[in-house]
Amino acid sequence: MKKKRLSFCKRYRQWTPEQWKKVMFSDESTFRLVRMASTTVRRPSDVSRYHPKYTVKTVKHPDSVMVWGGFSGNKGRGGLYVLPKNVTMKGANYIEVLRDHLLVPYAIHECEVFMQDSAPAHRSKVVQKFLTDNNIPVLDWPGNSPDLNPIENAWNEMKKAIAKKRPTNINELKQALTKLWVEMDLSYFTKLATSMPKRIGMVIQYKGNMTKY
């Protein structure tokens, strides 16, 4: 995998920030409902740390939603789609997501290439045919490279914001995700897209190993 990462980075190390701004970056991420402790409570020294009053209850398998999103450095946020509760992305529903949430933004953003990782749903023949039929070229993205995909930074920012909002159910979580996405500024996405030359340079410098991104 390090060889593939190096090969990719050497192939695109001459790309300028302006070229990367014309890429529609995409990815999925899972957001979970996690109960957070709302206050700090001081426990008396003579009381067991395992007393129910002083423990934080958690859910072993909390409800979650998978989110697909895309953006470009040209015009910022693109489409966003929240899958139904506890549903993951498969080839069939991925085509629906691309049809409903990629095609129009891709044209509006004047993108020239599409970025998706090598997840099984993305590599399926039906998906490849759909993209070819719609004249959308795809970057030959190396696997296991979240540090190269700038949308991962956007997901991390959203997860921090969601943790502060503390939604109590799936509907609140979906509404919060949509609101956060809409409120993200164009300049933030432009900064992410134009960070690609630095990301690529660091991967080459570290000989294919993971970087700070």
Domains (ranges, CATH) in the chain?
Answer: 17-32+57-141+151-194 (3.30.420.10)
- pLDDT tens column, 143-170: 999 999 999 999 999 999 999 999 999 9
**Coil vs helix vs strand at 137:** coil
Provide the pLDDT for residue 133: 97
For the stretch 87-103, pLDDT in tens is 889 988 999 999 999 99
Say what the pLDDT of residue 122 is.
Answer: 94
User: What's the pLDDT at 41?
Assistant: 66
Least Cα distance to 213 among 143, 140, 139, 151 occurs for 151
Residues of the chain below pLDDT 70: 35-41, 49-61
C-beta separation of 22 from 189 below 8 A:
no
| Residue 120 to residues 29, 65, 105, 123, 143, Cα–Cα distance (Å) | 15, 19, 24, 5, 11
